[in-house]
Chains A and B, each alone.
Chain A
Amino acid sequence: MGDFIEARRPASAMPAGVAGNRTPRLRVRGLSAGYGGRTVLHDVDFDAAPGRVTVLVGPNGCGKSTLLKAMARVLRPSAGEVLLDGASLHDLPTRRVARALALLPQGPTPPEGLTARELVAQGRFPHQTLFRQWSAEDARAVDEAMRAADVAKFADRPIAALSGGERQRCWIAMVLAQETELLLLDEPTTFLDLKGQIDVMRLLRRIARTEGRTLVAVLHELNLAAAFADEIVMMRDGRVRAAGAPEDVMTPPVLHDVFGLDAQMLRDPETGRPICVPRTGPETPA
């Protein structure tokens, strides 16, 4: 990953978060949502604060991706609302939302033949109009995003020719090129090896910290969440079961409640972050 994200952001994007203002930009109130009559999310409340990395975790089918989709207006809620700076997200013009909020979908399949740079350039869509399709500002944003996600060296290769990890970093670069204050990422570390996962999470944390942007990510890997999240939201059966700092929610009782997991907790000797170690010895009678 690049060593820095330049702080060249539009003036409007200069975050209050850096100054310590933690007013959430994105609020979820009483949200229920689902697919074709089947309700997956039940009455969820949730805030995402600027300058912080919020991570949604939970067992498969717990509704974490559904929550992310509803927050990204991909899914219309059946009850409740998502508020972007106090306005109902699903009533705002979609292009205006896209200038404030970016989405990395889960396991996206890129179109054949598009090059890495062409894919990243799609992130500029909400900043363009029919009659002003490409500006120096767009070129700068794409270059910066590609440098930050470390994909500049294969800019002109077709996406189809890249490895899964390289491809995923191109998608992340596309989301960065959108230059939004809020980023929603559904499993941004899939297809990445361990080093790649750490690089991506470091990049995301840096974006949140140094630019005060709001990051919400769905992660599968508990220890990755514990290492990088400022706030972990644990979900099960479409409801939030626990939310808070990693050291507060990563406890054996909570993990047992949410994941049905029997685990011990250790601490990272360097960062002090919790590490979850599931018991893998022979099963003992309860």
Chain B
Amino acid sequence: MTRTGARAPIGVALVFAAMLPAFALHVSIGATAIPLATVAEAFAAYDPTAFDHVVIREHRAPRALFAATVGAALAVAGALMQGVTRNPLADPGLLGLLAGAAFAVSLAVGAFDLLDPAWTPAVAAGGALAGAALVGSIAAAAPGGATPITLILAGAAVTAFLGALTTLALLLDEATFQALRVWLTGSLSAGDRDVFLRALPWFGAGFVVAFALARQVTALALGEEAAIGVGVQVLRLRAFTLLAVVALTAAAVAVAGPVGFVGLVVPHAARLLFGSDYRRIVPGSAALGGLGLLLIDVAARRALAPIEISTGIVTALIGAPVFVWLIRARL
């Protein structure tokens, strides 16, 4: 075992463990601060007549759970994309999946009045898949094929185009605009328990497939020929990765709207901390993504209190400089 290799599982476990105090902090702060002792009580000895307990159990704890799950899902999706495409700039946001999912959901709600949460993850998945396919085919048609550069450019074009369509659709339909305005900026405040429950199987399937594929993703990082040489079924791996990425992205968008940059930044942090083996990067990204979005959501709620900023705005504020740094350092 290598130096990073031997310590990495402990590091990943520590990050997972750190989610507990972050969760408590997240639940404790808000319009009114609730003492940590009361937070603990709300779970240990729930009293439905105590106002703080109800706030915690019904509102704050679910939101913290959404934050951790969405963060983990987007980070794992980004890690898989970066590994399989060998592209350090791969990310559900940059390659059009978030925009596709957001547009599909807006269209379903606006044009077809499809408000039943049962449909949201599936609609988002269809949109994410279409967005990815569009970006992939535009980049593949470029001279030189799908390189990191052409993929990013195609992703930017598709994101801008779908964003414009989404805005247009919402401007024409005031009711939908009001319903989705906050959600579209990537916000956990709009999180809906029914949607989360409907998204849970998508999260679950995505995580299981991601963890199962991790070993093969490391082998594919050797390059396609070497990977075939050691027995990786490259096409099958790519197909399963795409399914996992679409499921995770769709579930995350269904719950919290398009939250950008988590999938780009977190896998790089995981790589710095835990090494280059995807058997560590995937769980490491899940832990760091969950922890990160919990803390970012705390910041989103407290930075300009009592005004709350959308979580997606904060991730963009942090993510954009990191994106610039990545372009300078890695491309």
Contact = CB atoms under 8 A, between A and B. Distances in A.
B198 interface: no
Contact of A108 (B212, B226, B271): B226
A123 B230 contact: yes
Contact of B229 (A98, A115, A133): A98
B140 to A, nearest CB: 13
A207 to B, nearest CB: 17
Given A95-B231, A125-B230, A130-B212, A69 B86 contact: no
B241 to A, nearest CB: 15
A105 interface: yes
A178 B232 CA distance: 13
A109 interface: yes
A178 B230 CA distance: 7
A223 to B, nearest CB: 27
A108 B277 contact: no
Given A105-B223, A109-B223, A118-B277, A98 B231 contact: yes
Nearest to B83: A111
A85 interface: no
B219 A122 contact: yes
A95 B229 CA distance: 9
A110 B231 contact: no
A79 interface: no
Nearest to A114: B276
B219 A108 contact: no
A67 B310 CA distance: 57
B276 A72 contact: no
Contacts of B228: 72-74, 94, 103
Nearest to B271: A113
A7 B109 CA distance: 68
A102 B231 CA distance: 9
Contacts of B232: 94, 125
B190 interface: no
A105 B231 contact: no
Given A74-B224, A114-B277, A117-B5, 12 more contacts: A73-B228, A74-B228, A110-B222, A114-B221, A115-B4, A115-B5, A118-B277, A119-B222, A122-B230, A123-B230, A128-B215, A156-B3
Interface of A: 69, 72-74, 94-99, 102-105, 108-115, 117-119, 122-123, 125-126, 128, 130, 133, 155-156, 171, 174-175, 178
Q: Which 3 A-B pairs have the closest CB atoms?
A: A98-B231, A103-B229, A113-B276
